[in-house]
Amino acid sequence: MHLQKLASVTKFKSKEALIGIVGLGYVGLPLMLRYNAIGFRVLGIDIDLEKVDDLNAGKSYIEHISSAKIAAARNSGFEATVDFTRVAECDALILCVPTPLNKYREPDMSFVINTTDAIKPYLRAGQIVSLESTTYPGTTVEELLPRVQEGGLVVGENIFLVYSPEREDPGNPNFETRTIPKIIGGDTAACLEVGTALYEQAIDQVVPVSSTKAAEMTKLLENIHRAVNIGLVNEMKVVADRMGIDIFEVVDAAATKPFGFTAYYPGPGLGGHCIPIDPFYLTWKAREYGLHTRFIELSGEVNQAMPEYVVSKLADGLNERGKPLKGSKVLILGIAYKKNVDDMRESPSVEIMEMLEAKGVTVAYSDPHVPVFPKMREHHFVLSSVELTAESLAGFDAVVLATDHEKFDYELIKASAQLIVDSRGKYRVAAPHIVKA
């Protein structure tokens, strides 16, 4: 055991290891670029042939990752493949696959399980398997451990297993893969040691915890912390609105307190792959222990009600102007889930669009980061982004500011739109044609 661990650690420290990254999306690609940049050979593995062909041609399909970076990685040894037999070549296998919810808001573990089953036949002594997907406490031990050991390998002796949750923040210029501290939990002490050797090459600060379960729970706490606080401020927004108080002014004022307060801002609901989804991983797992996580579920309810709140404010605004929702033309500004990115996952804007369409509204959107409405698992719109001009804006009965991209010309929008429903607090000065939502 000692010799195998030593050999694996040495391989990572000397950068002789081949890093395999399974799942080449918002998490996998930045990680690939980081390992490539510091001199490791990297093999990207994905089931999507289109993605693999793009990468091998030096093309990026994620807006904030340039094609020039992909091309540079290709020139220095990066390669992508759909061939899972090549798992055997890799010294590390880092799994970066999605963990969505099913329609009953229960964890859909099929991506993690199918990926583990796909790599399983090609696992060999000396490898480390690291799961980065956000999931419930116990996943690594319950789902990955037995599968990894199925062929006779023993975790902690001749193969190593860790959980190290991703912490990407797309569109945030202040952080990159290297500078965000990395949590890591191993199945055994030897697993943790090999995992630390794998990640400390690429990440400035590795933060070890006592187990994979503790690491899984850490990631959930981070995201639940945000979900609960956003739920709180969304609820306060509704109260403040009834009282004629601007919640954004209140949050800004509270944020001047140098201790005990963290500023969270309200919006049209929660988006992205993490915050709307991850809390439900814990509520689901807690049931197994006879526990009911009321606090988490309540914040989920509040946040899920926000798109409906925005639609009701739009209906009120149109009503004031003697117009019904049905038959109105409405432009949604921003359909990515947060500003300055092209990520559409769980975007509340899309939910607002669906609600409006169901009520007989003619819906259009404008988003400089999403030129054409993408194919999504759940949602289907055949639309392209509307270019914002004085004329195009004036042609809509209302515009709903759902995502506050910096590329939008807010003065032009204010001057040209008939009615603005502002769910992001961009327009602080009251105007007759601006409705706060």
| Four-point Cα dihedral 317, 318, 319, 321, nearest 10 | 100
Q: Which amino acid is at 355?
A: M
Q: Between β-strands 362-366 and 398-401, what pairing exists: parallel, antiparallel or unpaired?
A: unpaired
Secondary structure in 3-state letters for the chain: CHHHHHHHHHHHHCCCCEEEEECCCCCHHHHHHHHHHCCCEEEEECCCHHHHHHHHCCCCCCCCCCHHHHHHHHHCCCEEECCHHHHHHCCEEEECCCCCECCCCCECCHHHHHHHHHHHHHCCCCCEEEECCCCCCCHHHHHHHHHHHCCCCCECCCEEEEECCCCCCCCCCCCCHHHCCEEEEECCHHHHHHHHHHHHCCCCCEEEECCHHHHHHHHHHHHHHHHHHHHHHHHHHHHHHHCCCCHHHHHHHHCCCCCCCCCCCCCCCCCCCCCCCHHHHHHHHHHHCCCCCHHHHHHHHHHHCHHHHHHHHHHHHHHHCCCCCCCCEEEEECCCCCCCCCCCCCCHHHHHHHHHHHCCCEEEEECCCCCECCCCCCCCCCCECCCCCHHHHHCCCEEEECCCCCCCCHHHHHHHCCCEEECCCCCCCCCCCEEEC
Q: Between β-strands 160-163 and 182-186, what pairing exists: parallel, antiparallel or unpaired?
A: antiparallel
List, by residue number, the catalytic residues. 274
Cβ contacts of 319 within 8 Å, gap of 6 or more:
none
